[in-house]
């Protein structure tokens, strides 16, 4: 088989993006979650928060702790997190199962409160809000190989979403964090050309009913 830069082929002949190849948990995440479109508000909020926690770390580190994060943060129920007080923050700071970063923990509580404001004041759901920033197909690279992906890092839409979230008082939502969120939640399909799961993700995106449309 011809070697395609950025594509790893496993012992069963399954071709995947290179970044998940070394770890079974990462491969499962890549195959079944990453790049598949999501309209569930709780999952969208969770991912925005966890991408914030990931800043300065690897996503695999966060993925391995995801069950602990869900237990610690009320399964990312924004109404419950919005009620967290300083006592709970201190309990979270003592929780060795998560990333114990006070600024990121406090940002998650803050963002839950901002999310309630956003949904209550203007939008029917968080999903209806974030999917407004889905990039136009014509703006995407015609062939997404490893070199093209490495040049992305963010996008004009991610910049716009980041700026708008920060204007609304959200924290830890810089453009790189937001673009990683968009990749994971299927607002873009950044599986590489040659990855067996690119076609599946695109089929899911084609069948997906955009919230608010």
> Alpha-carbon distance 191 to 6, whole Å?
10
**Checking phi first, is residue 211 left (phi over 0); if not, alpha (psi -120 to 50) or beta?**
beta
Whose CA is closest to 72, among 105, 103, 114, 43? 105
* Catalytic residue IDs: 29, 51, 59
User: Which position has the token pair 């939502």?
Assistant: 173
What are the backbone dihedrals phi and psi of residue 15, each rounded to the nearest 5 degrees, phi first? -95, 130
Whose CA is closest to 55, among 104, 108, 112, 114? 104
Whose CA is closest to 183, among 128, 147, 146, 135? 135
User: Which position has the token pair 């011809």?
Assistant: 2
What are the backbone dihedrals phi and psi of residue 102, each rounded to the nearest 5 degrees, phi first? -60, -45
């Amino acid at each position: 088989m011809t070697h395609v830069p950025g594509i790893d082929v496993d012992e069963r002949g399954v071709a995947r993006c290179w970044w998940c190849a070394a770890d079974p948990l990462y491969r499962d995440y890549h195959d079944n979650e990453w790049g598949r479109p999501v309209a569930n508000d709780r999952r969208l909020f969770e991912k925005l928060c966890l991408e914030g926690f990931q800043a300065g770390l690897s996503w695999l580190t966060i993925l391995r702790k995801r069950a602990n994060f869900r237990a610690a943060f009320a399964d990312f129920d924004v109404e419950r997190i919005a009620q967290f007080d300083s006592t709970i923050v201190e309990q979270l700071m003592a929780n060795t199962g998560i990333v114990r970063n006070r600024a990121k923990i406090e940002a998650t509580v803050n963002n839950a409160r901002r999310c309630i404001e956003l949904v209550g004041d203007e939008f029917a759901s968080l999903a209806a809000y974030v999917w407004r920033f889905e990039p136009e197909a014509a703006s995407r690279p015609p062939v997404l190989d490893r070199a093209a992906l490495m040049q992305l890092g963010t996008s004009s839409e991610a910049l716009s979403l980041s700026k708008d979230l920060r204007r609304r008082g959200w924290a830890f939502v810089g453009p790189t964090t937001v673009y990683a969120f968009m990749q994971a939640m299927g607002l873009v399909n950044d599986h590489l050309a040659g990855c067996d799961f690119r076609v599946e993700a695109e089929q899911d995106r084609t069948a997906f009913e955009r919230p608010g449309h």
